[in-house]
């Protein structure tokens, strides 16, 4: 089986070592280990009765909940089958521009959508870690272009200040900002472009409930943009991309303030535990992150390290050699529970001292 280009491919990992999927400890997908919230699981059970009906194609209730949360009219919000589905439609819009800048290294799925619609892609490598995003512009030419940005950025964990992205909105015909990980940033530090959405019809923001609420198997995300984008996407796509279970789960998740607080508390200390532990292992160089994953430079080639961790400890990390420009010396790990982080640190420590 080929090396996967996304984290979280447990079927691939289990096949590598001939063990059941359930015995692998997954650090490769950046998912909140505290979830899914019990309130969400209850809401899914309640929704089982609704399976005999089609979902509301307008997703009125879910949109209303999201619109109250973000203090925006419902027409500016479109739920989708994960952020991935909405990135597909954003790619169709981007493909209509003369060319599209895509940050490298970056989330590989942007290429799928853009290539699928025949977009002319210009890879945009940026110096990281960097304290601002302005230098992105130094590498772009022309105005007849679109750009796709990821903030906070996967895989570096870099958070671009909102003000640094403003020049992109002034310069590009279409700016797509993937904020799939923004919920992990404490509210006082969040750099979402949401406050500017009504002022910039060329801005599309994509969000995900997958990571923060630990729902990758359910598939739920949403886009926020001027209604003229979203109405067009609604005409292009199938009538019921979000199923009824995901609708109920999304509403329950957004209302679960206690889960948000619990996650924030866990993350600040579990992140410190993991970062400090990594800094103590000779041969590893973690890159400080704004979110729930950490990119780490390794003296042992990342694929070899991934295989050793899998075979000896049944731990899966994300080998980052499939990210452009990172080469074979980086891996990415999610921040998990204290006990799981400890297990990983011990395994890494054993490998690097042997
Ligand atoms: C940066 C980024 N955006 C979007 C996604 C896709 O999110 P979803 O599960 O909501 O489709 C991922 C998944 O790994 C991601 O890393």
DSSP characters for 311-323? HHH-EE-EEGGGS
Half-sphere exposure of 189 (CA within 13 A, CB side): 15
174 burial class (0-12, 13-18, 19+ CB within 10 angstroms)? buried
pLDDT at 200: 98
β-bridge partners, 175 = 147, 203
Cα–Cα distance between 10 and 26 in angstroms, integer? Answer: 8
Location of structure tokens 């923004």: 182
Q: Please write the tens of the pLDDT for every residue from 328-343.
A: 999 999 999 999 999 9
Span from the CA of 349 to the centroid of ligand 1 (angstroms): 30
Q: What is the mean pLDDT of residues 271-287?
A: 98
Span from the CA of 107 to the centroid of ligand 1 (angstroms): 8
Asked if the model's pLDDT at residue 164 lies above 90, the reply is: no
CATH 3.90.1150.10 maps onto the chain at 10-36+258-353
Asked if the model's pLDDT at residue 45 lies above 70, the reply is: yes
- CATH topology assigned to domain 38-255: 3.40.640
Compute the C-alpha angle 148/3/129, nearest 5°: 40
Q: Which of 267, 319, 316 is nearest to 293 (CA)?
A: 267
pTM for the complete prediction? 0.96
Asked if the model's pLDDT at residue 284 lies above 70, the reply is: yes
Beta carbon of 79 within 6 Å of any ligand 1 atom: no
Beta carbon of 292 within 6 Å of any ligand 1 atom: no
Beta carbon of 248 within 6 Å of any ligand 1 atom: no
Q: Mean pLDDT over all residues of the chain? A: 94
Cα–Cα distance between 232 and 238 in angstroms, integer? Answer: 12
Q: Which CATH code fits 10-36+258-353?
A: 3.90.1150.10
Q: What is the mean pLDDT of residues 172-178?
A: 97
- The pLDDT > 90 percentage for the chain reads 85
Q: Is 301 helix (H, G, I), strand (E, B) or coil?
A: coil
Confidence of residue 346 (pLDDT cuts 50, 70, 90): very high
Instruction: Please state the atom number of ligand 1 nearest to the C-alpha of residue 209.
Output: 10
Q: What is the mean pLDDT of residues 311-330?
A: 95
β-bridge partners, 125 = 104
pLDDT at 127: 76
Mutation test of ligand 1: which of 210, 241, 242, 290 has the most ligand atoms closer than 8 Å to its C-beta? Answer: 210
Q: Backbone phi, then psi, for 185, in 5-degree steps?
A: -80, 130
pLDDT at 16: 85
pLDDT at 91: 98
Span from the CA of 292 to the centroid of ligand 1 (angstroms): 13
Q: What is the mean pLDDT of residues 277-294?
A: 97
Residue closest via CA to ligand 1's atom 2 equals 180
Q: Is 99 helix (H, G, I), strand (E, B) or coil?
A: strand
Tokens of 38: 């019990």
Span from the CA of 180 to the centroid of ligand 1 (angstroms): 6
Among 23-27, 124-128, 188-192, 252-256, the least confident range: 124-128
Confidence of residue 17 (pLDDT cuts 50, 70, 90): confident
Q: What is the mean pLDDT of residues 201-219?
A: 98
CATH 3.40.640.10 maps onto the chain at 38-255
pLDDT at 83: 98
Tokens of 129: 């870690």
Asked if the model's pLDDT at residue 153 lies above 60, the reply is: yes
β-bridge partners, 235 = none
Cα–Cα distance between 188 and 351 in angstroms, integer? Answer: 39
Chain centroid to Cα 40, Å, comes to: 20
pLDDT at 1: 60
pLDDT at 125: 85
Q: Please write the tens of the pLDDT for every residue from 181-196.
A: 999 999 999 999 999 9
Confidence of residue 294 (pLDDT cuts 50, 70, 90): very high
Asked if the model's pLDDT at residue 136 lies above 90, the reply is: no
Confidence of residue 6 (pLDDT cuts 50, 70, 90): confident
Q: What is the mean pLDDT of residues 267-291?
A: 98
DSSP state of 153: P
Q: Please write the tens of the pLDDT for every residue from 221-251.
A: 999 999 999 999 999 999 999 999 999 999 9
Instruction: Please state the atom number of ligand 1 nearest to the C-alpha of residue 208.
Output: 10
């Amino acid at each position: 089986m080929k090396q996967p280009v996304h984290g979280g491919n447990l079927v691939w990992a289990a096949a590598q070592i001939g063990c059941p999927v359930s015995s692998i400890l997954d650090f490769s997908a950046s998912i909140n280990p505290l979830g899914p919230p019990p309130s969400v699981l209850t809401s899914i059970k309640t929704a089982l009765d609704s399976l005999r009906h089609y979902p509301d194609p307008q997703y009125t209730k879910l949109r209303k909940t999201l619109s109250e949360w973000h203090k925006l009219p419902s027409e500016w919000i479109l739920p989708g089958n994960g952020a991935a589905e909405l990135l597909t439609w954003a790619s169709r819009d981007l493909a209509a521009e003369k060319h599209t800048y895509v940050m490298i290294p970056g989330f590989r799925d942007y290429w799928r959508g853009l290539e699928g619609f025949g977009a002319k892609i210009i890879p945009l490598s940026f110096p990281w870690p960097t304290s601002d995003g302005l230098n992105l512009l130094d590498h772009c030419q022309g105005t007849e272009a679109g750009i796709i940005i990821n903030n906070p950025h996967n895989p570096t964990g870099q958070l671009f200040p909102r003000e640094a992205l403003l020049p992109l909105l002034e310069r590009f015909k279409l700016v797509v900002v993937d904020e799939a990980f923004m919920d992990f940033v404490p509210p006082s530090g969040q750099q979402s472009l949401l406050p500017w959405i009504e002022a910039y019809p060329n801005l599309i923001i994509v969000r995900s409930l997958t990571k923060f609420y630990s729902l990758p198997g359910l598939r739920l995300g949403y886009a926020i943009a001027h209604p003229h984008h979203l109405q067009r996407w609604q005409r292009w796509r199938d009538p019921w991309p979000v199923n009824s279970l995901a609708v109920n789960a999304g509403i329950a998740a957004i209302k679960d303030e206690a889960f948000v607080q619990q996650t924030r508390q866990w993350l600040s200390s579990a992140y410190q535990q993991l970062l400090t532990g990594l800094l103590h292992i000779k041969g590893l160089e973690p890159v400080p992150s704004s979110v729930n994953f950490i990119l780490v430079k390794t003296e042992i080639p990342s694929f070899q390290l991934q295989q050793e961790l899998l075979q000896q400890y049944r731990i899966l990390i994300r080998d980052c050699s499939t990210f452009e420009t990172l080469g074979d010396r980086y891996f990415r790990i999610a921040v998990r529970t204290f006990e799981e982080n400890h297990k990983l640190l011990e395994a890494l420590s054993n490998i690097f001292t042997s």
